[in-house]
Amino acid sequence: MIQSMTGYGKATAETGNRKVIIEIKSLNSKAMDISAKIIPAYRDKELDIRSRITAALERGKVDFALYIDVAAATGAQTINEAVFNNYLKQIESIALKTDYRVPDDIISTILRMPEVLDANQQDEVSDEEWQAVSKAVDQAINALVEYRKVEGAALEKKFREKISNISALLKSVEPYEQERVAKIKERIRTTMQNTVGGNYDENRFEQEMIFYIEKLDISEEKQRLSNHLEYFIKTLEEGHGQGKKLGFIAQEMGREINTLGSKSNQAEMQNIVVRMKDELEQIKEQVLNVM
C-alpha cells in the first residue's frame, strides 16, 4: 500500500510534576526536511529524535514539537519576565500593524514559547523521565505513519478511479478513427478538385494520401498510453516508496495524450483528449503527496 506524505501524530508523557506533549506533522517534500522545536531540557536528545524521524518517515517536510503542558504542570515554575514581555510586545506590535486582534488566550500561548519558563524546563532530565518521553516520541511518530497509511489508501482509490477514466476515454476514441480518416481524404480530394479540377494522377494522389494518413495514425500512441496506464497500476500495487516513479509515469502518460491531441484533427477526438488531460492533471497534483 502506498503512503501519503501528509500526516499528523500526537502523544503525551506524564513525568513527575509535568506533562510533556509531543506533536509531529508532515507535508509533501522532495527530500526529508525536519523543523524541530524542543524545550531546552531535551535539546541534547534532538539528534536522536531526528534520526528516528528520518528512519520512520523517509521523506517529507516534518514539523516536530516537544513542549510542556503548562496547565497540567504541578511544580513551581519561574516565568522569565523579560522574555515573556518581549514576546508580548512583538505580538502586540504585529497586531497593531495588521489590525489583528490579540487573542484572549495569548498568555498561555506565550508561556509555551521557548525560554519563557525557566524552571521545569531547564532542569536535567532523569533516565526514567527520558524513557517515558522517548516512548511518547515513538508513539507520535507511529501515529503519523498510521495517518499516512490511511491517506495513502484514499489516494490509491483516487488514482485507480482516474486511471480507469483515462482508459475508458482512450477506448472511446476508436469509433472516430476511421470516420476521421474518411473525412480527411474527402476534404483533401475536394480541395484538389477545386484547385486543379480533374488534372491529377489518381495513383500518385492515393500514394500521397496514404503517406499523409500514416502521419496522423495514432495506433502507437494509443498502445504506449495503454501500457503506461497498466504500468501505473502495477507500480501502485508495489506499495510504499513509489511516489517519484509514479510521477515519472504520469509525465510519460502526458506526452502520449498530448501527441494524441496534436494528431486528432477532429473536434470529437480533441474533446476526448481534453478530458484525458483533466483526469491526468488530477493525478499529477496528488502524486506529489505520495511517498
**pLDDT, tens digit (0-9, with 9 covering 90-100), for 135-151:** 999 999 999 999 999 99
Look at residue 1 and tell me if it is in a domain: no
Domain final residue, candidates 150, 178, 195: 150
Residues 230, 184: one domain? yes
For residues 218-233, average pLDDT: 94
The residue with cell 523521565 is: 129
Share of the chain above pLDDT 90, in %: 51
Write the pLDDT tens digit of every residue in 38-90.
988 888 999 999 999 999 999 999 999 998 876 555 555 677 788 888 888 88
Exposure on the CB side of residue 81, measured as CA atoms within 13 A: 0
Q: Give the Cα separation of 167 and 48 in Å (integer).
A: 48
Sequential DSSP letters for 184-198: HHHHHHHHHHHHHTT
| Structure confidence at residue 14 (pLDDT) | 87
Residues 132, 27: one domain? yes
Q: Which of 22-31, 69-78, 173-182, 227-236 has the lowest mean pLDDT?
A: 69-78
Q: Which of 96-100, 126-130, 225-229 has the lowest mean pLDDT?
A: 96-100
- Total tally of structural domains belonging to the chain: 2
Residue 266 has φ and ψ, to the nearest 5°, of -155, 140
Look at residue 270 and tell me if it is in a domain: yes
Q: Give the Cα separation of 86 and 93 in Å (integer).
A: 11
Selected residue with higher pLDDT from 11 and 85: 11
Which residue range forms the structural domain that includes residue 251? 153-287
Residues 208, 261: one domain? yes
Checking if the pLDDT of 119 tops 50, the result is no
Residues 32, 127: one domain? yes
| Structure confidence at residue 170 (pLDDT) | 95
Residues 121, 182: one domain? no
Look at residue 2 and tell me if it is in a domain: no
